[in-house]
Amino acid sequence: MSTSERRSTLRVLRHPGLLRFLTGRVLSLLGSSMAPLAISFAILDHSGTATQVGEVLAAQSIPLVAFLVFGGSAADRWGRRRVMVLADLLRAGAQAALATWVIAGHPPLGAFAGAEAVIGVGQAMFGPATTGLVPDLVADPSDLQAANSLRGLANSLATVAGPALAGIVVAAINPGWAIAVDAATYLASAALLVSLRLPARPPIPSASFAAQLREGWTEFWGRTWLWVIVAQYALFHLIVLAPFMVLGVVIAKTSLGGPTAWGAILAALSLGSLAGSLVTLHVRPRRPLLVATLSGFTWIAPTLMLGLTAPAWAIAIGAFSAGTGLGVFGPLWDTTLQHHIPERVLSRVSSYDYLGSVALLPVGYALAGPLAAILGGHTILIAAAAWIAISTFAVLAMPAVRNLPSTNSD
């Protein structure tokens, strides 16, 4: 890393607004990563079934997909921080009510599903606004990659620590208290967002939501590199990630040694993501989108090894590599958006990106089991590994992706 890059990183770390924002993200994501485990055990502790757990955890998917585009337009229209604070307060209220009910007794399944649906709405509002807020927190556009890398680090740290902390709280006290921690972290995030001092932005000309959505779509569709990458990863979630997560559990149970092996594989994935974020914190490629696209190849190894039932330790090494690829892709992709998309439409364009990321994942979860029963889980995973190679080479063949200039040259 050059001297100038070290100075840039240190300058970002010293920025008070960014530090407050990252503190809020670590706290909020820590709580969010605790909640699924706590909710699962709260249901199972009262004669619930695995099917019911899956239904509840999937309950946020429909409102998340339904409200994403609205959330991006609302953020551009009314202010990103305002929308993010509202989303945090909405989610804090839902989790606080559910936590109180779980501590006091046993809520019906509908209460769990209703809380998760509210979480989905809040996530749809918060996510697109975040991408647009980050440029307001750094003094120099050249610092954006470092800021996005720190966001990735915050996400990875919370993902690693949250489930472990939730397990301790659930075992020692009650699942409701872990859900209550999630509610408290949303409140902390909202308070830190309110405390930020942001630069003034010119007001967006008054227009209907429909007109704003059309403008966002025009900006999205008018950039080949953008919609091609979003389409690639929409299919990646359908064809690769969903089967990997669903069928991996089955293969781990039957052939790898059970939940301990699968837990180690997922832990390696999270640690790899942490490592990837650290890489992008210090390395600035001349063509970030090219490097981000190349990172997709890292998923071939764990997917293929799982399909071939390689030893758990080998799959874990592959998962670490795939996690590193995710950790590299995220900051480089966010930085590319922030440099190449006009600020006035950044959250709307980001909402289409988020939509592509999540829309097909529930479909993949639903189809993985039935297709495995027909074709065999190993066949599906080997085919998924082949798809990664084919799709990534196809995207790299496009000059709009391969030759997009460095963010520093815009």
Same domain assignment for residues 258 and 325: yes
Asked if residue 333 belongs to a domain, the reply is yes
Same domain assignment for residues 195 and 289: no
* Predicted local distance difference test score (pLDDT) of residue 47: 65
Same domain assignment for residues 30 and 84: yes
Q: CA 143 to CA 7: how far, in whole Å? A: 10
Domain boundary among 138, 170, 201: 201
Concatenate the DSSP letters of all residues of 58-97 into one string.
HTTHHHHHHHHHHHHHHHHHH-HHHHHHHHHHHHHHHHHH
Q: CA 331 to CA 337: how far, in whole Å? A: 10
CA distances from 298 to 10, 212, 294, 356, 394 (A): 30, 37, 8, 21, 16
Asked if residue 207 belongs to a domain, the reply is no
Same domain assignment for residues 39 and 68: yes
* Predicted local distance difference test score (pLDDT) of residue 51: 66
Structural domains of the chain, count: 2
Q: What is the DSSP letter of 237?
A: I
Same domain assignment for residues 185 and 323: no
Asked if residue 369 belongs to a domain, the reply is yes
* Predicted local distance difference test score (pLDDT) of residue 321: 95
Same domain assignment for residues 225 and 361: yes
Same domain assignment for residues 155 and 267: no
Q: CA 235 to CA 244: how far, in whole Å? A: 13
Asked if residue 210 belongs to a domain, the reply is no
Q: Which of 122, 127, 126, 129 is nearest to 80 (CA)?
A: 129
Residue 35 CB-half CA count within 13 A: 29
Asked if residue 209 belongs to a domain, the reply is no
Please, where are the H alpha helices in 107-238?
109-133, 144-172, 175-194, 209-221, 224-236
- Domain of 197, in residue numbers: 1-201
Same domain assignment for residues 33 and 175: yes
Same domain assignment for residues 120 and 244: no
Render each residue's pLDDT in the chain as its tens digit; 410 residues: 444 444 555 566 666 788 888 888 888 888 888 888 788 788 877 766 656 776 777 788 888 888 888 888 888 888 888 999 999 999 999 999 999 999 988 888 889 989 999 999 999 999 888 888 888 888 777 778 888 888 888 888 887 777 778 778 888 888 889 899 999 999 999 999 999 887 766 656 666 777 888 888 888 888 999 999 999 999 999 999 888 887 887 788 788 887 678 778 888 888 898 899 888 888 888 889 999 999 999 999 999 999 998 998 999 999 999 999 999 998 999 889 988 888 888 888 888 888 888 888 878 877 888 888 888 889 999 999 999 999 999 999 999 998 888 654 44
User: Rounded to the nearest 5°, which phi and psi values hold at 33?
Assistant: -80, -15
Give the CATH number for residue 80: 1.20.1250.20
* Predicted local distance difference test score (pLDDT) of residue 1: 45
Domain boundary among 137, 169, 201: 201
Same domain assignment for residues 320 and 185: no
Domain boundary among 151, 179, 201: 201
Same domain assignment for residues 159 and 227: no
pLDDT in tens, 118-144: 999 999 999 888 888 888 888 777 778
